[in-house]
Amino acid sequence: MHEQTDPPDEPSPGLVSTAIQAITQHIRSEGLAPGDPLPSEAAMTRQLNVSRTVVREAFRSLSAMRLIDMSAGRRATVAKLDTGAMSMVIEHGITTQQISVQQVYDVRRTIEMRTVALAALRRTNAEAAAIAQSARLMRESCKNPETVMEHDIAFHEAIAAASHNPVFSLIVTAFSGVTRRTWVIGWRTRSSDEDQLKMIKGHEDIADAILKGDPRLAAEHMAEHFDKSVKALIDAGIA
Amino acid sequence: MHEQTDPPDEPSPGLVSTAIQAITQHIRSEGLAPGDPLPSEAAMTRQLNVSRTVVREAFRSLSAMRLIDMSAGRRATVAKLDTGAMSMVIEHGITTQQISVQQVYDVRRTIEMRTVALAALRRTNAEAAAIAQSARLMRESCKNPETVMEHDIAFHEAIAAASHNPVFSLIVTAFSGVTRRTWVIGWRTRSSDEDQLKMIKGHEDIADAILKGDPRLAAEHMAEHFDKSVKALIDAGIA
DNA sequence: AATAATAACCTGTCATACAGGTTTTGAGGA
DNA sequence: TCCTCAAAACCTGTATGACAGGTTATTATT
């Protein structure tokens, strides 16, 4: 066994990593819930016997991952589940060409085939209405691509929310950033108005299936939707 | 003309967020790839006209998300895709009880039904061997739960890798931390040796199906595996 | 007792300093 | 000319002190 929880110093991981672990450990051991306050930087400084610089970098790192909320004058608090860090990881993968847009779409398809089925089974009436509303807004604003896109994204996020599994919401939302960067490309390849309206119709079909509570039908429409979207992206030359 | 040193523009996000964006923007605009070096802290300090403290907190934040690698003396470099941040988000959700273990398993099931099918279609011979190897090691070390668990995790990660979609790998690996915390509980409920061996047999069936290149069969076995695992967790009282 | 002023505390940012680690440079020797 | 190796230059890790401005607790005044 080569463990070194040593008294003198910790060379390898660095003081900041240690501080990050100490903070997350604190959240765990104290059973803190979102909104609960964390120790002040000064307190952490004393407890860990390091400089405020180190403690601050630790807090800031957790804040960047959206695990805690920071704001001037107030102590940091435990954060609600947020997609910030995940989005950044995905975006990083895309911009450094370690993952392709098509790969993201394959994952989205996999996940959303499930969220849409769960939504059909578990959606509340309000959720079904929100989903249908997004689809309707897509049609109404079909002259303005940017607006259609935002409603499209809201549509998919609403379905994820209606799955009543926040992990699905987390992942779907994390992908929204990628969608924002590629959506318009796909839209442009649907040259004719007819194609564009057909795509919007697809969303309405999904919303209807969810409203009817038919998971199989909802999944079918979702699959169709993704297949067409991916095809549009491939036609546009997205690797 | 040079930079716009924000006369009246963004007060709320704070200098550090701005710096983080500047760095990621740099990666994007320069088309940096993993391993490429970033500007030094001093350079960023000059470019953004802020103190090194701010720049350092920005770098450190990106490092915490594993988007960049830092080490003493060397400039920071663009990092390879890593699951660090995602794991922390999931763990945070679990420890603050914003998501349940069962919800994670539902997502895992959804994703791994797909990875296993893709693995059956796209696996190389080496990957098929690695998957089978993990299953074999599970059986051989079946007296030592901890070891079985590690091979089990390696098994699932190997399947994700064989899907040839790094996004799947990313997500599956991010869940491994949760698995490490709950696996033993599920194992204990399989009281009899017979149950435990049956579970290991399930893994071998999956490995065989992947080797045979039969996605449907592989997915069937995977579904069965997850259904039993979830049942074991529920029996053990995991909410 | 209600309210307003004040003190105490907290985070955001800056400047400076120094201890190591890493890369570059350059001088001297083969 | 080319190699070796040590000094120099550069870089990050950490500590300290300072101050502005926001937030909460305390106290004084009415």
Per-residue pLDDT of chain A (239 residues; tens, 9 = 90+): 333 333 333 346 799 999 999 999 999 999 999 999 999 999 999 999 999 999 999 999 999 999 999 999 999 999 999 999 999 999 999 999 999 999 999 999 999 999 999 999 999 999 999 999 999 999 998 888 899 999 999 999 999 999 999 999 999 999 999 999 988 888 888 767 788 888 999 999 999 999 999 999 999 999 999 999 998 888 888 76
Per-residue pLDDT tens over the stretch B133-178: 999 999 998 888 899 999 999 999 999 999 999 999 999 999 999 9
Q: Which chain A residues touch B107 with a CB distance below 8 Å?
A: 111, 165, 167-168, 171
Cα separation, A125 vs A207, in Å, equals: 12
Structure tokens at A33: 């819930």
Give the distance, in angstroms, between residue B93 CA and nucleotide D17 C1'.
38
Structure tokens at A207: 């919303």
Chain B: nearest CA to A197, how far in angstroms?
31
* DSSP per residue, B99-167: S-HHHHHHHHHHHHHHHHHHHHHH--HHHHHHHHHHHHHHHHTTT-HHHHHHHHHHHHHHHHHHTT-HH
Give yes or no for a contact between A76 and B8, defined as CB atoms under 8 angstroms apart: no
List beta partners, residue A77.
A37, A69
Range A15-78: architecture per CATH: Orthogonal Bundle (1.10)
Quick one: DSSP state of residue B51?
-
Domain ranges of chain B: 14-78, 84-235
* DSSP per residue, B180-229: HHHHHHHHHHS-SHHHHHHHHHHHHHHHHHHHHT-HHHHHHHHHHHHHHH
C-alpha distances out from residue B194 to A2, A148, B59, B149, B155, Å:
36, 56, 52, 17, 21
B80 touches chain A (CB under 8 A): yes
Cα separation, B99 vs B93, in Å, equals: 5
Is A110–B107 a contact, with Cβ atoms under 8 angstroms apart? no
For residues A90, B91, B77, A100, the Cα torsion angle rounded to the nearest 10 degrees is: -20
Label residue B185 exposed, middle or buried (CB < 10 Å: 0-12, 13-18, 19+).
middle
Of A28, A66, A98, the CB nearest to B81: A98
Label residue A86 exposed, middle or buried (CB < 10 Å: 0-12, 13-18, 19+).
buried
A204 touches chain B (CB under 8 A): no
Q: What is the CATH number of domain B14-78?
A: 1.10.10.10
Chain B: nearest CA to A58, how far in angstroms?
8
Of B16, B65, B107, the CB nearest to A165: B107
Q: Which CATH class is domain B84-235?
A: mainly alpha
Q: Which chain B residues touch A78 with a CB distance below 8 Å?
A: 96
Quick one: DSSP state of residue B80?
P
Residue type, B192: S
- One fold for both A15-78 and A84-235? no
Give yes or no for a contact between A150 and A158, defined as CB atoms under 8 angstroms apart: no
